[in-house]
Amino acid sequence: MNTASSHQGAARRPLSRWPQGLGALALGLSLTLAPALSQAQARELPDFTELVDRVGPAVVNIKTSEKAKPTESPAMDEQMQEFLRRFGIPVPRRGGPRNGDEDAPTRRGLGSGFILSSDGFVMTNAHVVEGADEVLVTLTDKREFKAKVIGLDKRTDVAVVKIEASGLPQVKIGDSGRLKVGEWVMAIGSPFGFDNSVTAGIVSAKQRDTGDFLTFIQTDVAINPGNSGGPLLNMRGEVVGINSQIYSQSGGFMGISFAIPIDEAIRVSEQLRAGGRVQRGRIGVGIVDLSKDVAEAIGLGKPTGALVQRVESGSPAEKAGIEGGDVITKVEGKSIQSAAELRRSIAAIKPGSKAMVQVFRRGATKDLTLTVAELEADKPAKSAEPEARPASGAAAALGLGLAEISEAQRKELKLRGGVLVENAEGPAARAGLREGDIILSVDNVEVATVKQLQAQLAKLEKAKLINLLVRRGDAVSFVLVKPGAR
pLDDT at 109 over 80: yes
The predicted structure's pLDDT at residue 81? 55
pLDDT at 462 over 70: yes
pLDDT at 96 over 80: no
Report residue 2 CA to chain centroid gap. Answer: 81
**pTM, entire model:** 0.64
Report residue 480 CA to chain centroid gap. Answer: 29
Q: Does domain 281-374 have CATH number 2.30.42.10?
A: yes
Alpha-carbon radius of gyration of the chain: 33
What amino acid is encoded at 283 in this protein? I
pLDDT, tens digit (0-9, with 9 covering 90-100), for 316-346:
999 999 999 999 999 999 999 989 889 989 9
The predicted structure's pLDDT at residue 44? 72
The predicted structure's pLDDT at residue 53? 94
260 DSSP β-pair partners: 242
309's torsion region: left (phi>0), alpha (psi -120 to 50) or beta? alpha
The predicted structure's pLDDT at residue 247? 75
The predicted structure's pLDDT at residue 359? 95
Tell me the mean pLDDT in the region 406-413. 78
pLDDT, tens digit (0-9, with 9 covering 90-100), for 150-205:
999 988 999 999 999 999 999 999 999 999 999 999 999 999 888 889 999 999 99
Say if CB 216 and CB 256 are below 8 A apart: no
274 DSSP β-pair partners: none
What's the rounded Cα separation, in Å, for the pair 291 and 478?
A: 10
The predicted structure's pLDDT at residue 32? 56
Mean pLDDT is lowest, of 287-291, 360-364, 397-401, for 397-401
Residue-range domain boundaries for the chain:
54-93+103-162, 173-275, 281-374, 389-481
The predicted structure's pLDDT at residue 436? 85
Domains 173-275 and 389-481 share a fold: no
Q: Which residues, including other chains, have CB under 8 Å from residue 334's CB and lie 6 or more apart?
A: 345
The predicted structure's pLDDT at residue 13? 39
pLDDT at 77 over 70: no
| 3-state SS record for the chain | CHHHHHHHHHHHHHHHHHHHHHHHHHHHHHHHHHHHHHHHHHHHCCCCHHHHHHHHHHEEEEEEEEECCCCCCCCCCHHHHHHHHHCCCCCCCCCCCCCCHHHCCEEEEEEEEEECCCCCEEEECHHHHCCCCEEEEECCCCCEEEEEEEEEECCCCEEEEECCCCCCCCCEECCHHHCCCCCEEEEEECHHHCCCEEEEEEEEEEEECCCCCCCEEEECCCCCCCCCCCEEECCCCEEEEEEEEECCCCCCCCCCEEEEEHHHHHHHHHHHHHHCCCCCEECCEEEEECCHHHHHHCCCCCCCCEEEEEECCCCHHHHHCCCCCCEEEEECCEECCCHHHHHHHHHCCCCCCEEEEEEEECCEEEEEEEECEECCCCCCCCCCCCCCEECCCCCHHHCEEEEECCHHHHHHHCCCCCEEEEEECHHHHHHCCCCCCEEEEECCEECCCHHHHHHHHHHCCCCCCEEEEEEECCEEEEEEECCCCC
pLDDT, tens digit (0-9, with 9 covering 90-100), for 231-262:
999 999 999 999 988 776 666 677 889 999 99
Say if CB 324 and CB 310 are below 8 A apart: yes
The predicted structure's pLDDT at residue 451? 84
Determine the Cα angle at 451 with ends 449 and 453, to 5°: 70
pLDDT, tens digit (0-9, with 9 covering 90-100), for 416-425:
888 888 878 8
What would be the CATH architecture of the domain defined by 389-481?
Roll (2.30)
Binned at pLDDT 50, 70 and 90, residue 403 comes out as confident
What's the rounded Cα separation, in Å, for the pair 255 and 246?
A: 8
Q: Decide: residue 235, CB within 10 A, 0-12 exposed, 13-18 middle, 19+ buried.
A: middle
Q: Does domain 173-275 have CATH number 2.40.10.10?
A: yes
Residues that are catalytic: 127, 157, 228
4 or 483, greater pLDDT:
483
Largest CA distance in the chain: 115
pLDDT at 4 over 50: no
The predicted structure's pLDDT at residue 95? 46
What's the rounded Cα separation, in Å, for the pair 389 and 404?
A: 6
What's the rounded Cα separation, in Å, for the pair 63 and 65?
A: 7
Say if CB 460 and CB 474 are below 8 A apart: no
Q: Does domain 54-93+103-162 have CATH number 2.40.10.10?
A: yes
Phi first, then psi, for residue 454 (nearest 5°) are -60, -45
pLDDT, tens digit (0-9, with 9 covering 90-100), for 348-397:
899 999 999 999 998 899 999 999 999 874 333 333 333 333 333 436 67
The predicted structure's pLDDT at residue 433? 85
44 or 456, greater pLDDT:
456
pLDDT at 63 over 60: yes
Q: Decide: residue 313, CB within 10 A, 0-12 exposed, 13-18 middle, 19+ buried.
A: exposed
What mean pLDDT value characterizes the chain?
Answer: 80
Distances (CA, A) of 405 to 80, 210, 387, 389, 474: 60, 42, 8, 6, 16
459 or 298, greater pLDDT:
298
What's the rounded Cα separation, in Å, for the pair 459 and 420?
A: 20
What amino acid is encoded at 67 in this protein? K
pLDDT, tens digit (0-9, with 9 covering 90-100), for 438-451:
998 888 888 888 88
Say if CB 260 and CB 158 are below 8 A apart: yes
Say if CB 486 and CB 426 are below 8 A apart: yes
The predicted structure's pLDDT at residue 90? 53
pLDDT, tens digit (0-9, with 9 covering 90-100), for 211-235:
667 889 999 999 988 899 999 999 9
